[in-house]
Amino acid sequence: MDSVYLKRSLGDEIWNVSILVAIGVSNDGCREIIGAAEDMKEDRESWRSFFVGLKERGLTGVRLIIGDKTLEMLEPIPEVFPDTRYQCRTVHFYRNIFSVTPRKKMKAVAMMLKAIHAQESKEAAREKDCQVAEKLQEMKLSAAVKKLQDGIEETLTYMDLPTQHWSRIWTNNTIERLNREIKRRTKAIRAFPDGQSALMLVCVRLRHVAGTQWGARRYMNMDHLHHMEDDLESGHMAG
């Protein structure tokens, strides 16, 4: 899940219009664009309405939602998709910590953060997280320590899923690339006359991308997930 901002005219003023976009990986492992909606606020009710719309159109079997950590997006998820887990994309997490890190220390901090997500298990990542927090404290970066401790767990959800999928799900780079393509095609337009025209152009571009190898090539081998779930179910039954 993500949003892309475009400009629209509103009277004599230019306002931002947000296009909410959702892509998914189907049971056959291919990527699909499953929804797009125009919104002016990108608030909680907007995301809730977007999620409900996806569900009413038949979206089921959602195991994981990946996105930026915003309360507006997070709060409706348990209500609409109660069995779905959430993964905060690591790039957003890093940027949040960098916002309270002096520029001269950013490189060292970036290396420490990446070391957390380079671990082979969630337990090892949590242990590395504690070590990084101690190091940041020694560097007198208390604000960075707080952001690290407040957000780290939601960036490790991917480690509960098959290791073969980790590189695909610990961030949402796939949708970021779509957003860049949208902006590349819309930058010549100074401002859309209304939100609907912005949404229509975005949808045209999304349909074009979906019709290429982007949508036809298998992105993930879902057998790994199915085998993991079967093993977990067998273990529960045995217990």
The 3 state secondary structure assigned to 94-152 is: HHHHHCCCCHHHHHHHHHHHHHHHCCCCHHHHHHHHHHHHHHHHHCCCHHHHHHHHHHC
Backbone angles phi, psi at 59, to 5 degrees: -70, 120
- 197's CB contacts (< 8 A; 6+ apart) are none
Domain boundaries, given as residue ranges, for the chain: 1-89+172-239, 90-160
DSSP lists the bridge partners of residue 65 as 86
pTM for the predicted model, two decimal places? 0.85
Domain covering 1-89+172-239: architecture: 2-Layer Sandwich (3.30)
65 CB neighbour count, 10 Å cutoff: 19
pLDDT at residue 104 is higher than 90: yes
Averaged pLDDT for residues 177-196: 76
Which token pair is 65?
């939602």
Reported as a single tens digit per residue, the pLDDT across 20-70 is: 899 999 999 999 999 998 876 778 898 999 999 999 999 999 999 998 878
pLDDT band at 197 (very low <50, low <70, confident <90, very high): confident
